[in-house]
Amino acid sequence: MRDILYGFAKRLTCMELIQYPQGNCDKKIADKIAALENTAWPQEGEETTFPSAPDTYLTSFVLMEAGAAICHVGIRKAVLSHKGEEYLAYGLSEVVTHPDYQKRGLAAQTIKQAAQFIISQQPDISIFTCAREKAGFYARGGWEAVPGACFVGGTKEKPFRSDSLNLVTMMMFLSPKSRLHREDFEHTDIIFALGEGQLW
């Protein structure tokens, strides 16, 4: 994987793009990711931990500079049961760039690496939610906004609906099965039991 990332990292002076976890899941890197996330989603009165949902967390692409995480794209993985079919699903989460490094195209390049990784894993779909104003940004990365789709995370007892936050559901249809059934994801609830308070 380092060979795949080398070309991108080489173009970024003093920056290194890494894939986490690496081998022993270095806690120092996890703490740096948590510190970066705290710039976007500060947790008052409690310490930010990473990953927030280890049951579905798979890996991250992290851009580092001078020992600090400056851009992060997390990748989640789970099995989705939807309208009589099961799909291996990968999604993005906790996409954040440090305020001092925004508007430089760093997130777009890091997401490109994440998309290539997801495709290489041969899942059925990639699915996540984003703010409406970000839909075009992710569309340039290969995902598409699914009309009328509502991603319902959380739990059966406490569902967490993406439409309650006015979010858009973004998807890639990667396998023949998912492409055959793509209309099943339009204008419907996509119910994903991810754990209380969890939504990709």
For the chain, the domains span: 2-191
Residue 133 burial (10 A CB sphere; 0-12, 13-18, 19+): exposed
pLDDT along the chain (200 residues), means of 10: 49 75 72 89 74 87 91 94 96 94 92 95 96 94 95 92 94 97 96 88
b/e per residue 33-56 (b: at least 16 CB within 10 A): bbebbeeeeeeeeeebebbbbeeb
Please report the pLDDT score of residue 29 as a whole number.
Answer: 87
Please report the pLDDT score of residue 55 as a whole number.
Answer: 85
Among the four given CATH numbers 2.140.10.10, 3.40.630.30, 3.40.50.2300, 3.30.930.10, the one describing domain 2-191: 3.40.630.30
How far apart are the C-alpha atoms of 57 and 77, rounded to whole Å?
A: 6
Task: Centre a 10 Å sphere on the Cβ of residue 194 and count the other Cβ atoms it contains.
Answer: 23
Please report the pLDDT score of residue 40 as a whole number.
Answer: 83
Look up the pTM and report it.
Answer: 0.84
Residue whose structure tokens are 């806690």: 27
Among candidates 64, 91, 44, which has minimal Cα distance to 192?
Answer: 91
Please report the pLDDT score of residue 5 as a whole number.
Answer: 53
Please report the pLDDT score of residue 28 as a whole number.
Answer: 86
